[in-house]
Structure 1
Amino acid sequence: MHNIETTVTILLWLTTSWRATKDWKDRRNRALWWTFFGLSMMMTLRLAPGKHLDQITGVTDLSYLLKHLFGGVLASAALLAFLQDISGKSDRTATMRRLRVALPLGTAVSMSALFFAKLQPYETVTIYQDVTAHLALLSYTVIFLGFLSVSLISGVQVCWRWGRESGNGMLGWGLRIIGIGLAAGVLYSAVRIAALFSRFRGDGILPGDQDDLVATLLLLTALFLIVVGSTLPVLDRLRSWRKERQDLLRLRPLWKDLTQSVPSVRLDPPRSTLVERLDPRHVKKRLYRRTVEIRDAALALNDHAPPVIRTRAREHVATAGLIGTQAETAAEACRLASARRSRLRGESPSPQPHQPSGGGRDLHSEIRALTQLSEAFYSDLTHAFVAATEPSTPSPLLETQR
């Protein structure tokens, strides 16, 4: 069991550290960071550092109080605030906002008062031998687990309601898993309260220390499910990042060839393929910029494609049996390839009416359109068109570019 607790503690601190870099800048997500910080502190205080803290401060079972304040009061209040906020059910009145702060604060103050007034200098194990201390512990636990249960039950309701509304994506399933974890936390509270009342009569609900074992298993299950559920939506973002990175690299050849002839449209100087592959930062921003520069380069090459080239491009793709959107894309690719060669040869442009090429209404559809254009640009059909329209004597400027 100790190894399992250590593993869960490490997972919590890893999650807390990772979320510190992504959640702290967003005010709405800070509550989630506080949740994991509180849970991490709670689990840490359950282990050897908690005993060391008691020895250093000289306050018996101080770690017992602190792990409840961190893991029960702070974490549950922060998680509930986060769930209500993202689900659109946040408190809209000043009274409700004050109550959200006053209730956990009052719980923490009451627990601390009972702890220092009646539960010192007893150790947790010997408290059951003193009726007054036992009653104080009973009051302490009822206040703590009562607040925890109310918060967790509210969290379960929010998770299940919003999880259904979010569908069957990673976000929806993540919320459902968090809801199951919170439900396990409610069972943990119930077992703890039942065990405490039963021990007041001199026995437990289960033989030996099995009460503690069952409660600990429920707690660890709840923590593990909360970590998994809160991390699951990240898979969606990771999948989107991976798709955007693939699109970025897939459009690189077309971007490089078109902007080579119109370098003025580049915001930044081109980087090597290796550097671009290894750089994981700002992928969506770079992809958006790449689509803009491809379209800007195509617009600049418009004056290097006279009407005769446009007509021959349409006839060329029609001869190949292409129709509809596929034919339009192939004709545009032929026109761009010919215009690029013309500009690289140093030929003077002649003003032509701008004919908007097919594109997308948003980044997703624009990427799809440019991907199709890139495939057509490097097809045998386009190579054949360029070869057929190429002057017999290449320009020295073109040879230099090669």
Structure 2
Amino acid sequence: MQQLLHPVCAALAVAGFLLLLCPPRHLRQDRALAALVGVYGFCALSFLVSLAPVWKTLGDTTGLPAAGILAAFATVVAQVSLQPVALAYWVLPPEKARTWGRACLAAGAVVVAALTALFLQLPSSGPTTTPQGITAAYLHTGVYQAYLALYICAYALGQAVLATGCWVAARRTDQRWVARGLYVVGAGAVLTFGYSAVRLAGVRAAALGADRPPRAAESFAWICADGGNALVLTGFFVPALTVHVVPRARAWARARRDYRALAPLWEAMHRALPTIALQPARHPAADRLRLWNTTWHLYRRTVEIRDGQWALRHHLDEPVREAAGRRHRAAGRTGTELAYAVTADQLHAALAAHARGEPPHTPTAYADAETHEDVRTPEDDVRALLRIAAHFATSRAEQEVTTSWT
């Protein structure tokens, strides 16, 4: 069973770490996400250091044959310390979450320091094979018994805190799937108590000189440890996806869609006024394939379009505005939609006049200048330009159809 559950837990840990890590800049803004990335990362690391080649490398590098078990225990303690931190930032006010998070991390650091101090008192000669081999060799040593008991007690306490916090948070949230995920995490934390009970029983038996627990108890311990860990990692996926991944994916998709919707308007301006582009792509295909920093590229594109509008203001002609206004009013457009449609026609005419180098006969302003009071945020500006871009593309298509018929 251990051979089956270990790879499952390792795969869940690595997948969760990679999924939540990208892009890393979000970790500076979201402490719950940063803590959760740490949970999955340290869990993956605990499985990594338990691999035989890594275990041997740690022993050879440090000169301490049992260094792998210190690394494994330390990474698990770090994982257990970060679990309630992520939960706290989800359900508590920021100041209380910050205080609770610091307390959890400080407690974890104290436990790791104590484990290190006890580990350094172990006999230097010993096996370098597996954690089980080291436990079998050292279990009748008083220092190792204290070492193992401290680790198990800290592990059990951390999982008890996690289980309690998950049940409290699940009852408070109004999001059904988040609550279900937290209940799964809490159930996984409770399941690990079986591992802690078997391990503490083994330490007690060794201290009293009794026989070791039977092999069935060893298998039960690993089922509880790996099974509980798998439930914790799986359950955390649901709130993580709901709170972090899905909103980011939606924002990315929306920014990507808006970026491409503004492309025809931007490209027309960029051909006429190349200097508006701060970081132009070397090839049009590269511009269409931009997948990273989409929100930044979108806002940069809106700024460049507005810069192009500003540069083309010297080619705006009043007769063009009046004719466009009559045409769009006849089509039933009013209010801001009328202003955006007229502005799109003005841009077509201004680009043509710019190409010919013709000044306007009767200078005027953009029709959408009257709507600037409604544009208060970058998001408002994107929405306004999307409407202008839609009319710009429509009027271009109409011009192409007219040209083909004439």
TM-score, normalising length: structure 1 = 0.73
Q: Which has the higher relative contact order, 1 or 2, with Cα contacts under 8 A spaced 6 or more apart?
A: 2
Q: CA deviation at 1:129?
A: 11
For 2:387, which of 357, 372, 379 is the aligned residue? 372
Q: For 1:142-153, list aligned pairs within 5 A.
A: 142-153=149-160
1:261 aligned onto 2:272: yes
1:39 aligned onto 2:43: yes
Q: 1:191 to 1:168 in 2, by over 3 A?
A: same
**Which residue of the partner structure matches residue 76 of structure 1?**
80
For 2:72, which of 48, 63, 67 is the aligned residue? 67
Letter paired with 2:298: L
Q: CA deviation at 1:251?
A: 0.7
Deviates more, 1:148-157 or 1:316-325: 148-157
How many Å separate the matches in 1 of 2:339 and 2:171? 43
1:298 aligned onto 2:302: no
**Which residue of the partner structure matches residue 108 of structure 1?**
112
How many Å separate the matches in 2 of 1:53 and 1:385? 70
Deviates more, 1:149-158 or 1:340-349: 149-158
Q: CA deviation at 1:136?
A: 6.9
1:184 aligned onto 2:191: no
Kindly, what percent of the aligned residue pairs are identical? 21
Listed one character per residue, the Cα deviations across residues 43-62 of structure 1 (whole Å, up to 9, x for unaligned) are 12444346646975886765
Listed one character per residue, the Cα deviations across residues 181-218 of structure 1 (whole Å, up to 9, x for unaligned) are 35413430x20233246564869699564423431442
Unaligned runs of 5+ in 1: 393-402
Q: 1:374 to 1:160 in 2, by over 3 A?
A: farther
Q: CA deviation at 1:140?
A: 4.5
Q: CA deviation at 1:288?
A: 0.6
Letter paired with 2:310: L
Deviates more, 1:331-340 or 1:159-168: 159-168
CA RMSD of the aligned region, Å?
4.5
Q: CA deviation at 1:145?
A: 3.0
Listed one character per residue, the Cα deviations across residues 121-152 of structure 1 (whole Å, up to 9, x for unaligned) are 6995797999x939877654543233223333
Q: For 1:3-402, list aligned pairs within 5 A.
A: 3-13=4-14, 16=17, 19=21, 22=24, 26=28, 28=31, 32=36, 34-49=38-53, 52=56, 56=60, 63-71=68-76, 73-81=77-85, 83-84=87-88, 87=92, 88=94, 89-92=96-99, 97=102, 100=104, 103-112=107-116, 133=140, 140-156=147-163, 168=175, 173=178, 177=181, 180-181=184-185, 183-188=187-192, 190-196=193-199, 200=205, 207=216, 209-222=218-231, 224-225=233-234, 228-229=237-238, 232=241, 233-269=244-280, 271-349=282-360, 351-353=363-365, 356=369, 358=371, 360-379=375-394, 383=398
Q: 1:268 to 1:44 in 2, by over 3 A?
A: closer
Q: 1:387 to 1:309 in 2, by over 3 A?
A: farther
How many Å separate the matches in 2 of 1:268 and 1:24? 23
For the residue of structure 2 that corresponds to 1:133, the secondary structure is: coil
Q: CA deviation at 1:219?
A: 3.8
Unaligned runs of 5+ in 2: none
Instruction: Tell me, yes or no, if the aligned pair for 2:9 and 2:230 is still in contact at 8 Å.
Output: no
| Matched length | 380
**Which residue of the partner structure matches residue 396 of structure 1?**
none
